[in-house]
Amino acid sequence: MLFVGPGLFLTGCEGDPAENGADAEDPSNAIAVTAPSAADAGKVMFRTGSDEELKQALQISRDVLSARLQPMGIDPNDLEVKRSFVDDLQMAHTHLQQTLGGVPVFGGEAIVHLSSSGKLFAVTDSLLRNVNVNLEASYTSDEAVDLAVGAYGCESCLTAEPEVDLWVLRQDGRDHLAFRVQLRREDGTDKTSMPVIFIDAHTGTVVWQYENLQTGSGTSLYSGTMAINTYQSGTTYYMEDIPRKLGTFDNRNSTSSTYRFTDTDDVWNSTSQKAGVDAHYGAEMVMDYYKNVHGRNGIDGNGGPGYYTSIDGVTPLITSIVHYGNNYANAFWNGSYMTYGDGDGSTFTPLVSLDIVGHEMTHGVTERTANLTYSGESGALNESMSDVFGAMIERAAQGESSDTWKIGEDCYTPSTAGDALRYMDDPHLAGDYGYTTNDDPDHYSERYTGSSDSGGVHINSGIFNKAFYLLAKGGTHHLGGTMTGIGADQAAAIWYKALTSYMTSSTNFAGARTATLNAASALYGATSTQYTAVGTAWDLVGVAGSGGGGGSGSELVKNGGLEGTYAPFAGTGHSYYTASGSYPHGGTGYAYLGSVNYANGTFYQDITIPSTATSASLSFWLNVTTSEGTSTAYDKLYVEVRNTSGSLLSTLVTYSNKNKSSSSSTYTQRSGFNLLAWKGQTVRVQFRGTTDSSLTTTFRLDDVSVK
């Protein structure tokens, strides 16, 4: 994906190359996709992780990063190898630590991932841009230790010698030269702690601090008594988890005044504290799930967003607020923090159960990634994503049970045992409010199409929920069809990858099918059991593909939307790909040919047309921008069928600069090209572009389909 805190730049994600005038693309910033030569075919550069292989990987990695570093204000010499290895896929990973004048930059790292042949696969980038600080310290390390111990307030309590080292630390948008002082107190009492304190090397003040070990206990409403992380300042404990950067606060049944939860013995068991314990525990489980399962740091991917600041005065906290309003029977994410009402005691008790906390915080994750518009089908996807990951968070923390697939069962209608707000395994079990014949629908043919509920964002979420349940657990759909599940872990991995890498704000159900198929292909391969299972799950809930309307059969093109990766398409010569361009037809990725003079390039995929096929119709979306006129065909795009050796079997159609589009973002669907003559064969569907010696034309291609 594009850079979001510690994120990925996928191959080709340099952004859409700048236009040459209004017509042609400049490929200087793009990744040219070139098929391997015969000599390179099957070449493996990395096998054992030997010193020589790792040296090669390092050199390639530095070359990859060098062009990126200058606009970041980073000297290539300020990257030091932290770790380098070759994995079981024979991919090399070089982990680099950012430094400034030899001083490490706290949190500044990059990992360059190379394929077995030495080609760039991706870059994981958490480098800090434009770091600037005076590296001459005014204090010594010993003085910094004294200052940190003084800030802690009890030198005699320490059970080990302090550890100190020097870092460049960016805090609240400002760079500091800071000593990191790590203290340890392991005395067998409830005061056991491991505080980490950063002392500004110029001013001697505390820049930032956090507690590595500070555990309290609390009695919750729904999860019994459990350990929670709290923060001690003086003799008072606060419901703040500094290592995770979480804080839980109390509205005291108002809508405007917010207070810190405090306690004197770190046992949180009063009536008002119990809802706070649930919300705090839930937020900790959410953070742990996303970090440990999906490698995500916080809601925004960068440890935040922080809203209120900790009582320590420096740590921004991902914020949860409980006891909102008077008998408020809902919970919500407002773009900055989570808010939980106490319920009315009849329909809801306090809405702080683990799956609801996971649900609300996942709204934040969705906002910071795909940002699915909260209306209609995209809004139903937004709601369903929150249901899915609320269930997965509950499962990770408490184990799988029949309750895993119920949403809000702990706090919904307390007088009725065993019911829930929604049911992922059988959406029809939800309360019938008359929106559809079967609330909630679990098939696209049953969907609600009215304007209530913002176009059915909660109602229609059952369709996506059912697709996930079938993928995870398998089973039979009541309208017909049966499948075998792949397990909740793999299903969640696919859903998360689809949300964070392959969906946009306007993705609808058909687009979600494509997104999850692309995610399955990236994770497990386009011919994998997981990929096939995703398609089957969508078939069972009645959602067809979005690949261009070229027919009613099964989709034969893989990754026709070109989302996240070029694969399994290939190209030669002047064939370019951008994963996050300015002019896609759908999603963010597309391919283009031409763009410069004397350009010859191809873009193709080999597909197998079943011998039993009754339809195999090619369609695609085409945009043509040109500096040529439109009276004579100078630059051309040939749409061809070839065998897998490259021999021409048929030219289906030819386009040229004469087919100029009205703008760079205006696409026209081209369809109706029948490929049934090659059923029972594997053939190559190829787009071949040529340009002449003057004035350029760019042919953009997206959403390729054969059905």
Cα(153)–Cα(285) distance, rounded to whole angstroms?
31
Cross-strand partners of 705: 619
First-to-last alpha carbon distance for the chain, in angstroms, is 29
d(CA 556, CA 554): 6
Q: Which residue has the tokens 């410069």?
A: 596
What is the β-pairing status of strands 215-219 and 267-268? parallel
Amino acid occupying residue 702: D
In angstroms, the CA 653 to CA 559 distance is 22
Task: Give me the count of residues in the chain.
Answer: 707
Cα–Cα distance measured from residue 371 to residue 384, given in angstroms and rounded to the nearest whole number: 13
Distance CA 212, CA 232 (A): 12
- State the DSSP code for 559: T
Reported as type and span, the H/E element at residue 519 is helix 509-524
Structure tokens given for 271: 């009536």
The pair phi, psi for residue 365, each rounded to 5°, is -60, -45
Alpha helical stretches, state H, 189-235: none
Asked if residues 449 and 436 have their Cβ atoms less than 8 Å apart, the reply is no
Q: Which residues face 690 on adjacent strands?
A: 600, 636
* Cβ-based neighbours of 555, under 8 Å, separated by 6 or more: 535, 545, 547, 705, 706, 707
- Assess contact for 576 and 30: CB atoms under 8 A: yes
Strand pairing report for 590-594 and 617-626: unpaired
Residue (of 410, 407, 403, 463) closest to 431 by Cα position:
407
Retrieve residue 334's tokens: 């407002």
Q: CA-to-CA distance for 704 and 699, rounded, in angstroms?
A: 14
Would you name the residues annotated as active-site residues?
A: 360, 458
Spatial CA neighbour of 71 closest among 127, 115, 18: 127
Q: For the residues of 334-396, what is the DSSP string, one character each?
A: -SS-EEEE---SSSBS-S--HHHHHHHHHHHHHHTTT---SSHHHHHHHHHHHHHHHHHHHHH
Q: Is 183 left (phi over 0), alpha (psi -120 to 50) or beta?
A: beta
